[in-house]
Structure 1
Amino acid sequence: MTKLITDIKEMQALMNQYKLDGKTIGFVPTMGALHFGHQTLMKKAKAENDIVAISVFVNPTQFLPGEDFESYPRQIDKDVMTASAVDVDYVFHPSVEDMYPDLDRLPITLKVHEQAEVLEGVKRPGHFDGVVMVVNKLFNIVKPNKAYFGKKDAQQLAIIETMVENFNHDIEICGVDIVRQADGLAESSRNVYLTESERLEAPALYQSLQLAKSLFDQGERRSAILIDTIEKYLTEHTSGKIDEVEIYTYPSLKKAATIEEQVFISIAVKFSKARLIDNIIIK
């Protein structure tokens, strides 16, 4: 039975005891509004560890002024039920006040440099600083053997991998393939913001990436050609505003004019109330 834990010290004590008992811990950090994509991460954690814990915490330090922190979906009772359906052992749901006793001044912070100076980091300055701060805190509370992240947020995954290496966390970071709905739309908590007509258009993001990959498979290596193909497809098949279409090396996140090593193509489209992101890794 899944147990809800809200107290930091209680969670630490539980996880410490499991470690002393020789149990392995798998951890899935989330901001809640759990969907099938999250369940896929949990199932993988369940298959590879003795104990599985997830966090449900809408982290204020990764939201910029004017973003959807206040309106971000919060549904802890439903989230516990979703976690229970895949036999998660613990849902850790701390309060903002407990996680950040000094939120107004944040006496100690972390800073992401080059990897946050492209893509989402440019659009949302300071966002990844907040991400690495909360992930560090969660890692210190849960002390997992393995932590699971979706590849949909490829830039975030690359940054967390670098953070773990730089801060000597004894944790294996497991990237899990993007979970998609039947029509190709990547699972996301923000999909609920789409209108009915936008939801019908949204699969075009993945279709445009597939089109670019087909050109790559046919021998095209110029990034500009692939980007132009994606932008044209999105313009013709969605009413959303193209926010970005970029190609970067992975995991170093350097802009690639030509594709000579592993890269990921990242796209973002703004609809009326939702900004959807998607990507595909090309080797």
Structure 2
Amino acid sequence: MKLISGRKELLKHLDSHKGTLGLVPTMGALHEGHLSLVKKAISENDTVLVTIFVNPTQFNNPEDLEKYPKTLEEDLSLLNSVDQGIIVFAPSIEELYGEEVTSKEYFFDGLDKVMEGAFRPGHFNGVATVVQKLFELIRPDKAYFGEKDFQQLQIVRNLARTLPFSLQIVGCPIVREAQGLAMSSRNRLLSEEMRKKAGLIYQTLEKARCMFGTENATKVIAYVKEVFSAQKDMDLEYFQIADEETLTPVMKKQKNRKYRGFIAVYAEGIRLIDNIAMN
């Protein structure tokens, strides 16, 4: 496995590769969800590059950035166990941003204004800034993102369409822990007891999906709010049912439209997100 931290060294190394290149961007603290993306990339490409970079511009809360787990040695060991031919790019902030660590301003047709965008101002400008930097530097054929961050996935797809080169964005299914909790780097910050209890998030999403078959969105949202209002150690930030393509909240169900339920919950002060296809 090749570990690279500099842009020049990366470009020199990529010049020698042949065939298709698959990119898996991560912020490290890898888990089985990340590894599922890596394995998918390996199955579809001749060369796979994994980036490990905790991007400061996508954190609107400095404490959240400070808490984010950094486990590079463990990450490298995990990747090496999957495939020793993986290239890992783990740059410093200065290497990727230079002296000006700021976000660009983007227009995403409203995709960035709801849910995560509404509760985390500037978040998706930060995500898009670093993703565009990586895309333009690496020029992959395919890039792999998990559906746990479904809103991010749709925004990255929007971004990719504006680039002056061909790039396929591949969305990959959510990987869950035994109790249903969506795998996330943040899960390791939870107590063992809460990690088990947080399976309630997915259980509630599943019930909401069943209800959505016969009930309107207002009743389903009210049910989810009621579930979490009864929890003393979990706080619901939002639950929204939105059109999968436009991410606009559903007012009235329409035939031939796909909808998805999106949720954000605080558990022991740790912010957890999840989503589920509603039909």
Which category describes the TM-score, using the shorter chain as reference length? over 0.9
Asked if residue 158 in structure 1 is aligned to residue 154 in structure 2, the reply is: yes
Match of 1:147 in 2: 143
Give 1:141 shift.
1.9
Give 1:228 shift.
1.5
Report if the CA contact (8 A) 1:204-1:234 is conserved. Answer: no
Please give the secondary structure, in 2, of the residue aligned with 1:234.
helix
Two-structure CA RMSD over aligned residues (Å): 1.6
Give 1:264 shift.
1.2
Quick one: distance in 2 between partners of 1:10 and 1:194? 38
- Residue of structure 2 aligned with 1:39, choices 35, 39, 43: 35
Of residues 112-121 and 47-56 in structure 1, the stretch that sits farther from structure 2 once superposed is 112-121
Counterpart residue identity of residue 205, structure 2: L
Report if the CA contact (8 A) 2:237-2:265 is conserved. Answer: yes
TM-score normalised by structure 1 residue count:
0.92
Match of 2:22 in 1: 26
Give 1:10 shift.
1.4
Give 1:208 shift.
0.4
Gaps of 5+ in 1: none
Q: Deviations over 1:118-146 (max 9, x none)?
A: 10111111110010110011112221111
Asked if residue 242 in structure 1 is aligned to residue 241 in structure 2, the reply is: no
Quick one: distance in 2 between partners of 1:43 and 1:11? 22
Match of 1:17 in 2: 16
Please give the secondary structure, in 2, of the residue aligned with 1:121.
helix
Asked if residue 199 in structure 1 is aligned to residue 198 in structure 2, the reply is: no
Asked if residue 6 in structure 1 is aligned to residue 5 in structure 2, the reply is: yes
TM-score normalised by structure 2 residue count:
0.93
- When the two structures are aligned, how many residues end up with a matched partner? 275
- Residue of structure 2 aligned with 1:122, choices 100, 118, 129: 118
Of residues 160-169 and 230-239 in structure 1, the stretch that sits farther from structure 2 once superposed is 230-239
Quick one: distance in 2 between partners of 1:259 and 1:40? 33
Please give the secondary structure, in 1, of the residue aligned with 2:274.
strand
Quick one: distance in 2 between partners of 1:188 and 1:3? 25
Gaps of 5+ in 2: none
Give 1:250 shift.
1.3
Quick one: distance in 1 between partners of 2:169 and 2:96? 22
Quick one: distance in 2 between partners of 1:282 and 1:172? 25
Quick one: distance in 2 between partners of 1:168 and 1:151? 25
Please give the secondary structure, in 1, of the residue aligned with 2:179.
coil
Equivalences for 1:1-283 in 2 at 5 Å?
2-18=1-17, 21=18, 23-87=19-83, 89-104=86-101, 106=102, 109-113=104-108, 114-217=110-213, 219-220=214-215, 222-236=216-230, 239-260=233-254, 261-283=257-279
Quick one: distance in 1 between partners of 2:229 and 2:34? 30
Give me the identity figure in percent: 39
Give 1:192 shift.
1.3
Give 1:231 shift.
2.0
Report if the CA contact (8 A) 1:247-1:256 is conserved. Answer: yes
